[in-house]
Amino acid sequence: MAVENIPGERGQTMEGDTGKQTDLKTVLINTTSEAAIIIKEIEKGLLDCANLFRVEPSDKVFNLFAEMINNLNQFFDFVRELRSGITNLKDPKISPDFLAVWDDALNIFKEMLAAFENKDWVTLSDLIQYELNPRLSEGGKQLVGFKERFG
């Protein structure tokens, strides 16, 4: 007996919808693995910046910090897209709640920018080392856990 194409949302068949959901899930799982590796590199670069800001805030440190901030900003964009993808996945077993740690990290990121604008290198270094990096580390673990759980 042939499988009937039953219309789903937006004129798609349920069979096609399932395939797209599977493809989306695969993409989400694969990108979280790569993202977990990238966030470790960002963590290390930011920690290097924090240590250098404490010793000597030079052009070299500012350039490295600018690069890390750009990378982190792009990473936050990725997290927004990941959250959207998980929401669109419509799988009751997969919730975007595990991404909440990134909201905390984003708030600290904003505090860091204020400290940078005020040239408060000690506060900036402390925010990186004691506030942001632990959340980035936790977020990276959450991404790995996502892959292990659903991959």
List Cβ neighbours of 89 (8 Å cut-off, separation of 6 or more): 21, 24, 25, 28
| pTM for this prediction | 0.79
Question: Tokens for 11?
Answer: 């004129």
Q: Which domain holds residue 100?
A: 15-150
Q: Residues 104-127: what's their mean pLDDT?
A: 94
Is 1 within a domain?
A: no
| Residues 116 and 5 sit within 8 Å (Cβ to Cβ) | no
The answer as to whether 5 is a domain residue is: no
What tokens were used for 107?
């708030």
Mean pLDDT of 68-79: 93
In the chain, how many domains are there? 1
- pLDDT of 93-102, one tens digit each? 888 888 899 9
Whether 73 is covered by a domain: the verdict is yes
| Two tokens, residue 126 | 């402390």
Burial (CB count within 10 angstroms: exposed 0-12, middle 13-18, buried 19+), residue 79: buried
**Is there a domain that residue 58 lies in?**
yes
Contact predicate 107/36, CB 8 Å = no
pLDDT at 42 over 80: yes
Q: What are the tens digits of pLDDT across the range 12-35?
A: 434 456 778 888 888 888 888 889
3: in domain: no
Give me the pLDDT at residue 8, please: 39
Whole-number mean pLDDT of the chain? 85
* pLDDT at 148 (0 to 100): 85
Q: Residue 99 sits in a domain of what CATH number?
A: 1.20.120
DSSP letter (8 states) at residue 30: H
d(CA 100, CA 7): 35
**Cα–chain center distance at 67:** 17
pLDDT at 133 over 60: yes
- Per-residue pLDDT, averaged over 80-100, amounts to 85
Assign 38 a pLDDT band (cuts: 50, 70, 90).
Answer: very high
Is 35 strand, coil or helix? Answer: helix
Helix (H, G, I), strand (E, B) or coil at 51: helix
- Residue 9 in any domain: the answer is no
